[in-house]
């Protein structure tokens, strides 16, 4: 489980496609303190660390299945590209964002970016089958970052991104047409399941 509070921006070092997709990611994390088999949210996707560097050469490797590629933006990652990273929360950690599982529901497209004071308003379009789970003033995770939904209009929804978030995430690199990993709020998923049972 994660909180949607990005704690590092990783850089893609290498991608190898052989059966599954194998990706090596440079990080500022002290990988010596991270166990093989641990989870790390990579652009919001919960991936398993399968290899790692050391305190002087900080990187970790993940293996990505075809199923994960089909539901996420990982297939479009390129060497030297950057991604949001978050280590899992521990019992007793502050829950600064909202409960995020790292299980991506689909991919949203950035439609527009409009300055709003010191912040920016980003409008995204969600896949039609996920739109009903997105509510004004509810939570959403985009590329692993916990954000508050400001408004919803059909499959389109807006979020306000403050300067701090632009600085500590990859959101400052996005432009109209960019695609991001979308995870709907866990509560919305279960409420829908109960209502439609």
Residue 187 has pLDDT above 80, yes or no: no
d(CA 73, CA 190): 25
> What does each C-alpha distance from 177 to 67, 124, 192 come to in angstroms?
23, 9, 29
Domains belonging to the chain, first-starting first, are 8-86 (2.40.30.20), 106-195 (2.40.30.20)
Query: Which of the pair, 192 or 1, is modelled with greater confidence?
Result: 1
Token pair 């900080």 is found at 58
Smallest CA-to-CA distance from 73 within 173, 148, 143 is with 143
d(CA 91, CA 56): 29
- The tens digit of pLDDT for each residue in 129-167 reads 999 999 999 999 999 999 999 999 999 999 999 999 999
In the chain, beta strands by DSSP E: 8-18, 20-26, 39-42, 45-52, 59-64, 82-86, 106-116, 119-125, 139-142, 145-153, 156-161, 179-184
- The tens digit of pLDDT for each residue in 42-53 reads 999 999 999 999
Side-chain-facing half-sphere of 150: CA atoms under 13 Å: 11
Residues 2-13: what's their mean pLDDT? 96
- The tens digit of pLDDT for each residue in 89-100 reads 876 666 667 789
Query: Which of the pair, 132 or 24, is modelled with greater confidence?
Result: 24
Whether the CB-CB separation of 64 and 20 falls below 8 Å is answered with: yes
pTM here is 0.93
């Amino acid at each position: 489980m994660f909180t949607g509070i990005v704690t590092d921006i990783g850089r893609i070092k290498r991608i190898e496609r052989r059966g599954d997709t194998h990706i090596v990611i440079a990080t500022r994390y002290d990988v010596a303190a991270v166990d093989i088999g641990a989870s790390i949210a990579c652009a919001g996707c919960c991936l398993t660390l399968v290899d790692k560097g050391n305190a002087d050469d900080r990187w970790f490797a993940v293996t990505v299945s075809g199923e994960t590629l089909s539901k996420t933006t990982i297939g479009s990652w390129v060497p030297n590209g950057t991604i949001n990273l978050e280590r899992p929360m521990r019992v007793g950690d502050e829950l600064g964002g909202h409960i995020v599982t790292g299980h991506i529901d689909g991919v949203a497209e950035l439609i527009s970016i409009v300055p709003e004071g010191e912040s920016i308003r980003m409008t995204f379009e969600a896949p039609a089958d996920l739109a009903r789970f997105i509510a004004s003033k509810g939570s959403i995770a985009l590329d692993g970052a916990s954000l508050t939904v400001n408004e919803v209009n059909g499959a389109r929804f807006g979020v306000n991104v403050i300067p701090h978030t632009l600085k500590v995430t990859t959101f400052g690199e996005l432009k109209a047409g960019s695609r991001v990993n979308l995870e709907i709020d866990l509560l919305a998923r279960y409420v829908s399941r109960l209502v439609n049972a």
